[in-house]
Amino acid sequence: MGWFGSKKEDDQPLRHDRQKCWESRDAYFACLDATGVVKPGDEGSKCKETKVVYEQNCAKSWVDYFNKRRVLAEQQANVLAQVNSQASEAKRKS
Amino acid sequence: MNSLVRRQICKSSACLKSSFRSNRTCRTGIHSRRMSTLPEGGSRDKSTVGVFTPKAAALFIATGAGLFYYFQYEKARLAEQRRKELEDKEVGRPNVGGPFNLVTQKGEPFTEKDLLGKWSLIYFGFTNCPDICPEELDKMSAAVEKIDSTYGPIVQPIFISVDPARDSVAQIARYVSDFHPRLIGLRGDYASTKAVCKVYRVYFSTPPNTKETDDYLVDHSIFFYLMDPNGKFVEAFGKASTEDDVVARIEKEIGLWKDKTGETH
């Protein structure tokens, strides 16, 4: 923290900060995908490297938000796939 | 006078029972329904005038007149309906927008009166927003850019913060510089933020007991509004609207405005 309240300014997520956060998030999530893990944190020590960068580049609130959203999106995709397969099955039967 | 007398005659039983000649006299004097109801008279009429009996003629005229009045009535009704529809468009406008009192990123006061004379696109969000706000603001900025190139700067993009605890004037100034150069960033204290959100029907919820330095997200409505140069609500755009949808809608409204007032704003 500097004398002129520069800390606050550094906290302000500007475009390039957001970009950096999003990119490290994508890298971490790609690693999770590769290891077949949906819920962040369940991967053990496998994606440690990307996780550290991700948590460094994104605020904690953002990390929580992205992690929650990843799980929700996965659930949504599952439900959607289920519905679609049921629909196509029903079509086949009729 | 003459026909009246004849009618009298005709109505009398003498006439009906009279000879063919006098019967004809009666017929020319009046269109005697009474006569055609008589079996003999009716057959005689048919033989003389064919299928065009007085009854048919009356029916024809009545139907014609009926249809004429029906169409007149329908035409009037449709015109009335169209007029009402136009009125409804004014009346059916959602009651979004109203007085507010905020401060720009330059520290200048800004109220609903500053919206007048220009179209405005208004987005509610917060500077610590992870992804949706910047995406929506990028979309909004791109749409404004496109309108700018065709019409000039007649659409004012506006960002209103729903995070009064953390979004200071300086912070908003830094934030809006990321987007459209004309983007105005507004903030107010909690009460004025609450008030502007109320009149714009925007929901926002900050976690309880937050401090300026806390790291939290604000849950809020994520659409942006198009307001006309009178400051009246026109449309709300959500995540599903693309940049092109927004531009097309604004251009359509500008066209309608031009038809009405002769100006683009």
Note whether B170 contacts A9, CB cutoff 8 Å: yes
Helix (H) or strand (E) holding B142: helix B132-151
At residue B197, the pLDDT reads: 93
Counting one residue from A and one from B, how many pairs have CB atoms under 8 Å apart?
33
pLDDT tens by residue, B36-89: 444 444 455 555 556 778 888 899 999 999 999 999 999 999 988 887 776 666
Rounded percentage of chain B residues whose pLDDT exceeds 70: 78
As a whole number of angstroms, the distance between CA B112 and CA B225 comes to 14
> What value does the mean pLDDT take over residues B82-99?
76
At residue B213, the pLDDT reads: 80
Rounded percentage of chain B residues whose pLDDT exceeds 90: 55
- Tell the residue number behind the tokens 């609130």, with chain if given: A61
Question: B38: Cβ–Cβ under 8 A, 6 or more apart, which residues?
Answer: B16
Burial of residue B97, with CB atoms counted within 10 A of its CB: 0-12 exposed, 13-18 middle, 19 or more buried:
buried
Q: Which of B130, B134, B178 sits opposite A66 (nearest CB)?
A: B130
At residue B9, the pLDDT reads: 45
Q: Is B232 left (phi over 0), alpha (psi -120 to 50) or beta?
A: beta
pLDDT tens by residue, A62-87: 999 999 999 999 899 889 999 999 98
State the pairing for strand pair B233-237/B224-227. antiparallel
| Cβ proximity of B133 and B222 under 8 Å | yes
CATH of B101-261, one of 3.40.30.10, 3.90.1070.10, 3.30.460.10, 3.30.590.10: 3.40.30.10
The complex's ipTM works out to 0.73
> What value does the mean pLDDT take over residues B236-246?
92
Residue B258 has pLDDT above 60, yes or no: yes
**Chain A residues with beta carbon closer than 8 angstroms to that of B171:** 8, 12
Residue B40: CB atoms within 10 A of its CB come to 11
Structure token digits, residue A39: 């819920």
Q: What are phi and psi of A2, to 5 degrees?
A: -90, 180
Note whether B174 contacts A9, CB cutoff 8 Å: yes
pLDDT tens by residue, B188-240: 999 999 999 999 999 988 877 778 888 888 888 888 999 999 999 999 999 99
At residue A52, the pLDDT reads: 93
pLDDT tens by residue, B140-164: 999 999 999 999 999 999 999 999 9
Residue B126 has pLDDT above 80, yes or no: yes
Note whether B130 contacts A65, CB cutoff 8 Å: yes
As a whole number of angstroms, the distance between CA B36 and CA B223 comes to 77
Residue B172 has pLDDT above 90, yes or no: yes
Helix (H, G, I), strand (E, B) or coil at B163: coil
Residue B29 has pLDDT above 50, yes or no: no
Band of pLDDT at residue B30, cut at 50, 70 and 90: very low
Torsion of CA B243, B126, B254, B153, to 10 degrees: -100
Nearest residue to B256 via CA among B24, B132, B97, B90: B90
**Chain B residues with beta carbon closer than 8 angstroms to that of A13:** 127-128
> What value does the mean pLDDT take over residues A35-61?
90
| Cβ proximity of B149 and B111 under 8 Å | no
Chain A within 8 Å of B82 (Cβ-Cβ)?
A: no
Chain B residue at shortest CA distance from A13 = B128
Q: Which of B127, B131, B134 sits opposite A12 (nearest CB)?
A: B127
